[in-house]
Amino acid sequence: MKTRQTGQWFALLTVALMSAACTTAAGARADDVENLRDLAVAAPESVGLSSTRVERLEAGMRQFVEDGRLAGVHTLLARHGKIVSSSVAGVTSVENGTPLTEDAIYLIYSMSKPITGVAMMMLYEEGKWRLNDPVTKFIPEFENLQVYAGDGADGEPLLEDASRPMTMRELMTHSSGLAYGLGSRNAVDRMYRESGVLDFQNKPLQSMIDTLSETPLLYQPGERWYYSIAVDVQGYLVEKLSGQPFDEFLQERIFAPLGMVDTAFYVPLDKLDRLALIHGEGEDGGLTVQQNGDPTQPPAGPSGGGGLYSTTLDYMRFSQMVLNGGALDGVRLLAPRSVEMMRTNHLQEQALSTMAPGSGFGLDFGVVHGPSCRR
């Protein structure tokens, strides 16, 4: 079966218009901003949008479904903390034709990563770790890692010693030297795939650490930016630093306080009828269901990099908490300074030079910097 990584893979598309550079209004107290940005429903014009253009956006998103490019789409639009549009079209599955609803549940893949980052920053505020700490302080298995240095004449990978341990800052910015295994462009990514390091459904997080400790880094720590398994390693660190299973930490410290009632690493049986299935392109060019595994079974290793299920509104609540500087509906998870740290570029010059111009990376958040962000 032919597949491609396009919009056909996804049943969820959340659209949120947010203030430039994710900053609060000049001179406003953080608590005042939070109280105003409560995700109440409002008319588009009340937050500076045009109803006509919002309707045009909704029609454009529905067109993806009508053209057969998406099975379903839920477009939730907010600005200045007010929801101005919620538009649903399509089905949860092209096989059964169940209509998509506003409370549909999706596998959110890498949208899990910012949630893991917030968990890490909560522990940062508690003094459990610092940016310049070596990761080996908390994961001794990463002592004496080797680094991929190209291929030899016989095609076998050449290895060299790591120049130094990766730091927590580098782990949080995808500049640690870790790879991912999502493709096979280099020997290290192929090693990840062959080892099954991403098999979180069947293997605990400790198994991931054990595998990574025996696998070379793709590059020297701090040398470049490379999208990686680092956020899954952070999920393991949340367990180590908090003394709680990762999934329990997220539920008790983030999901329950924020009212994210449908976010978890699995879908309970009584919510299964709300699950939007994953679709891809079949041989005939049409959409076909490509759901893998049993979503009702909790994984052996909860993946902080890509394993959460959630709804559009749940994720909007999380996003608004971040935009509010760490609080929502009277519940504060992070100090404004911690959120500012997350959205500030932390890549050093050498690694930053490997990203596209104007791009950078904060603490589990991609960032855009330069004159366009200061308007």
pLDDT digits (tens, 9 = 90+) for 296-327: 999 999 999 999 999 999 999 999 999 999 99
User: Is residue 337 in some structural domain?
Assistant: no
Model pTM? 0.91
97 & 185 share domain: no
138 & 252 share domain: yes
91 & 116 share domain: no
155 & 244 share domain: yes
67 & 100 share domain: yes
Q: Check 85, 87, 93, 113 and give the catalytic one.
A: 113
Residue 1's CB: how many other CB atoms inside 10 A? 8
223 & 138 share domain: yes
User: Is residue 181 in some structural domain?
Assistant: yes
In this structure, the strands spanning 40-41 and 82-90 are parallel
- In angstroms, the CA 332 to CA 267 distance is 27
Is the pLDDT at 18 greater than 50, yes or no? Answer: no
275 & 356 share domain: no
59 & 87 share domain: yes
User: Is residue 274 in some structural domain?
Assistant: yes
- In angstroms, the CA 129 to CA 115 distance is 18
* Number of residues assigned to the chain: 375
CA dihedral 98, 100, 104, 106 (to 10 degrees): 90
Tell me: the pLDDT tens digits for 97-141? 999 999 999 999 999 999 999 999 999 999 999 999 999 999 999
Q: Which of 99, 111, 97 is nearest to 10 (CA)?
A: 111
Residue that has been written with the tokens 């927590």 in this structure: 168
16 & 115 share domain: no
User: Is residue 191 in some structural domain?
Assistant: yes
Annotate 278-342 with DSSP letters as a single string. PEEE-TTSSEEE---S-TTSPPSS--TTT--EE-HHHHHHHHHHHHTTSEETTEE-S-HHHHHHH
User: Is residue 339 in some structural domain?
Assistant: no
83 & 172 share domain: no
CATH, residue 171: 3.40.710.10
Whole domain around residue 18: which residue ranges?
7-104+266-301+311-331
Question: In the annotation, is 227 catalytic?
Answer: yes
Phi, psi for 339 (deg, rounded to 5)? -65, -40
Number of domains composing the chain: 2
Phi, psi for 264 (deg, rounded to 5)? -170, 180
98 & 180 share domain: no
Cβ burial of 163 (10 Å; 0-12, 13-18, 19+) is exposed
Among 85-89, 204-208, 355-359, the range scoring the smallest mean pLDDT is 355-359
Q: Check 46, 51, 110, 353 and give the catalytic one.
A: 110
User: Is residue 338 in some structural domain?
Assistant: no
Q: Check 109, 195, 227, 359 and give the catalytic one.
A: 227
Instruction: Name the average pLDDT for the chain.
Output: 91
